Amino acid sequence: IARLEAALKDPASVASSQAALRFDNYPDEHPNQPWSLERQLAAVRAATYEQARQCVADLHGIGRLRLAAVGDFTPADVQGVWDKVARLPKSPVPYERIREEAAPSAVDTAPIVVSMPAKPNASVVGQALLPITDDSPDFPALRIAAKVLGGDADSRIWQRLREKEGLAYGAGVSLAGRSFDPRSSFRLQASAASPQAEAARASLQAELARALKDGFSEQEVERAKRTWLEERKTGLRSEKGFVGVLSAGLENGHDYAWIAQYDAQISRLSAADVTAVFRKYLQGAPLVWSVGRGE
């Protein structure tokens, strides 16, 4: 309750919640259907102890078990852990993956602006849901496009909003691919002082428009490819990164053979490839801009 009450007093949280509702094409009662902050708060306040007990009785226990382990231990050590975990109670409900709806094609894209007094900082976000999974042949090119546009400190958005214009504390692009259902998220974002919020949004929009109009250069794409592949190697040098890949691969099938094929696709990309895919998915994609700021 305290967390939701605090979110209702935060313009960035309210703006984000309102934006999520724009992409709601779920059937009623779907577990992933977004709710307004007010509806969430009312539901939590109305929840009872008996309902919590019934939820545990209905769902508690193991439905599907996966184990990935990396470290200084023997196979017998891992088997011992497996044996202990496997003895835990089984869930009365069999495991079934909850299917996501495909990204909606019709979205209300009217800008969202939430202003509250005495809030010095602002959050600016432009979000689209794209009908693509990370298994798609197009996804590696989309990943590199996001990298060039706003994936790191050398990207177009960071260089413009942070280094050149000094509008933002941080700025960039994130691409979150879904493995099973075509509902991947593409976000442009900036954090800025509240008086700079509108200028930051205008600069984000200008960089998106420039990328769609002019595309990406070979130099930009080659740099992004090198950075991506080096970051991939770095991530696998830690036990945490290694075990994370193994664990995720047990669910989505992205084992090291899949990763090698994916990275090979990235290494073969040209600027023309990246530009074409970026235009394919972002040209005309419903994009919702939201600003949470002080008055």
The pLDDT assigned to 236 comes to 78
Quick: pLDDT tens for 78-134.
999 999 988 888 999 888 899 999 999 999 999 999 999 999 999 999 999 999 999
Quick: pLDDT tens for 170-229.
999 999 999 999 999 999 999 999 999 999 999 999 999 999 999 999 999 999 999 999
The pLDDT assigned to 198 comes to 97
Rounded CA separation 182/198 (Å): 32
Strand-pair category, 288-294 with 112-116: parallel
The closest alpha carbon to 103, from 282, 290, 293, 289, belongs to 282
The closest alpha carbon to 65, from 89, 101, 31, 30, belongs to 89
Whether the per-residue pLDDT at 64 is higher than 90: the answer is: no
The pLDDT assigned to 65 comes to 85
**How many residues are recorded in the chain?**
295
Q: Which residue has the higher pLDDT, 214 or 60?
A: 214
Q: Which residue has the higher pLDDT, 238 or 146?
A: 146
Contact (Cβ atoms closer than 8 angstroms) between residue 269 and residue 137: no
**What is the CATH architecture assignment of 112-294?**
2-Layer Sandwich (3.30)
The pLDDT assigned to 109 comes to 98
CA geometry: angle at 271 spanning 269 and 274, to 5°?
Answer: 70
Q: Break the chain into its structural domains and give their ranges.
A: 112-294
Contact (Cβ atoms closer than 8 angstroms) between residue 220 and residue 275: no
50's enclosing H/E stretch is: helix 49-59
Residue linked to tokens 């977004």:
34
Rounded CA separation 211/206 (Å): 9
Write the single-letter amino acid at 285.
Answer: A
**Tokens describing residue 232:** 């991939």
